[in-house]
Amino acid sequence: MRTQYALVTGSSSGLGFEICQYLLEEGFIVFGASRSATDIDHPKFIDLDVDVTNEESVQQMYDEVGKETYGLHLIVSNAGIFEMGSVLDTESDMFLDHLKTNTLGPFHILKHGHDFIIENVTHIVHISSIAGKKGFENVSAYCASKFGLNGLIESCREEWKGLGVRFSTLMPGAIDTPIWENISDDFERSKMLDPEDFIQVFDMVVKSPPNMQFTDITFLHKSGNLE
Ligand SMILES: NC(=O)c1ccc[n+]([C@@H]2O[C@H](COP(=O)([O-])OP(=O)(O)OC[C@H]3O[C@@H](n4cnc5c(N)ncnc54)[C@H](OP(=O)(O)O)[C@@H]3O)[C@@H](O)[C@H]2O)c1
């Protein structure tokens, strides 16, 4: 089978970490990119340093990718942050951090990832959120950043139509990952999906026929949103 290359941002923790492990099992050569190191020791795993908020850092990351391959079969834009606070309690810096990481970051990944597109092959998967299509109380910064991300994806899909790129967007509800570690204990982990549930959906997306893209896969725990 031909060698397939994947880039995964936010590989050091949570879903990104699980996605990297899954893709390695599927035989991909995986570039994992985060600000901190990713604890995966595998001959087909290449750990890269990136701060997605910083365009120069993203360019340097792609320079490293370019030393190994001319093209990426799969780009998973997953890096993200999540904090809670009412509109009145949210500092501008906190709001901006969300936009920089969750919206501007994926923009940098797309803009500079363009050089690595393999026409009619590359599949770009974004890990957005149900909070990118529905507002939640005390989540304004995160919701704004994910609504913005969805707009970015929709525009780029139209612009790159001629390249035969597939754009798939996953919009999960709460999943039990370290992202919840600094959030109030009021949210029951038993009412969240497990990372393995997420990987089942991701697996379906990755193995889908090459003429398909998923514009919006929304999925959540059967108990509903954590409200
Ligand atoms: N868990 C959920 O309930 C849930 C639900 C819906 C959607 N999501 C989305 O899923 C994605 C992954 O979340 P998770 O739950 O796996 O969270 P997580 O465990 O906190 O992991 C977040 C990852 O993003 C990376 N990251 C954060 N800021 C970055 C930056 N500036 N540059 C590069 N990497 C950065 C982190 O690595 P470093 O800190 O090492 O850089 C880490 O690897 C996020 O986009 C999140 O919004 C999560």
pLDDT digit string (tens) for 113-157?
Answer: 999 999 999 999 999 999 999 999 999 999 999 999 999 999 999
Question: Which of residues 227 and 93 earns the better pLDDT score?
Answer: 93
DSSP SS3 for 175: strand
Identity of the amino acid at 192: M
Predicted confidence (pLDDT) at residue 182 exceeds the cutoff of 90: no
Average pLDDT score over the chain: 97
**Contact assessment for residue 162 and residue 117, using Cβ atoms and an 8 Å cutoff:** no
224 in a structural domain: no
Cα–Cα separations (whole angstroms), residue 208 to 53, 117, 170:
31, 19, 14
Pocket test of ligand 1: the residue of 52, 81, 191 to mutate, having most ligand atoms within 8 Å of its CB, is 81
Measured at the alpha carbon of residue 30, what is the angle toward residues 72 and 101, in degrees to the nearest 5? 80
Distance CA 48, CA 9 (A): 9
pLDDT tops 70 at residue 80: yes
CATH of the domain at 86: 3.40.50.720
pTM for the model: 0.98
Number of domains making up the chain? 1
Q: Are 24 and 30 in contact (CB under 8 A)?
A: yes
- The verdict on residue 90 lying in a domain is yes
Give yes or no for a contact between 74 and 113, defined as CB atoms under 8 angstroms apart: no
pLDDT at residue number 1: 67
168 pLDDT exceeds 90?
A: yes
Ligand 1 centre from 39 Cα, in Å?
A: 15
Q: Which domain holds residue 211?
A: 5-219
Q: Looking at residue 114, what is its pLDDT?
A: 98
Q: Average pLDDT, stretch 92-96?
A: 98
What confidence score (pLDDT) does residue 22 get?
98
Exposed e or buried b for every residue in 160-188, given b needs 16+ CB within 10 A? beeeebbbbbbbbbbbbbebbeeeeeeee
Q: CA 56 to CA 154: how far, in whole Å?
A: 25
pLDDT value for 186: 81
Domain membership flag for residue 188 = yes
Residue 69 in domain: yes
Q: Is residue 226 part of a domain?
A: no
Q: How many Å lie between the centroid of ligand 1 and the Cα of residue 60? A: 20
Report yes or no on 225 lying in a domain. Answer: no
Q: Would residue 126 count as lying in a domain?
A: yes
Which among 40, 104, 179, 227 is the best mutation to test ligand 1's pocket, defined by most ligand atoms within 8 Å of the CB?
179
CB 139 within 8 A of CB 83: no
The predicted pLDDT at position 98 comes to: 98
Residues 17-75 pLDDT 10s = 999 999 999 999 999 999 999 999 999 999 999 999 999 999 999 999 999 999 999 99
Band of the pLDDT at 226, cuts 50, 70, 90? confident
Decide if 62 contacts 113 (C-beta within 8 A). Answer: yes
203 CA distance to ligand 1 centroid (A)?
19
Q: Is the minimum distance from the CB of 106 to ligand 1 under 6 angstroms?
A: no
Q: Are 50 and 38 in contact (CB under 8 A)?
A: no
If phi > 0 it is left, if psi is from -120 to 50 it is alpha, else beta; for residue 208 that is beta
| Alpha helix (H) residue ranges in the chain | 14-25, 55-66, 92-99, 105-113, 140-159, 195-206
In a domain, 227, yes or no: no
CA–centroid distance, residue 1 to ligand 1 (Å) = 31
Residue for token digits 């035989």? Answer: 27
Q: How far apart are the first and last CA of the chain?
A: 46
Segment 206-210 mean pLDDT: 98
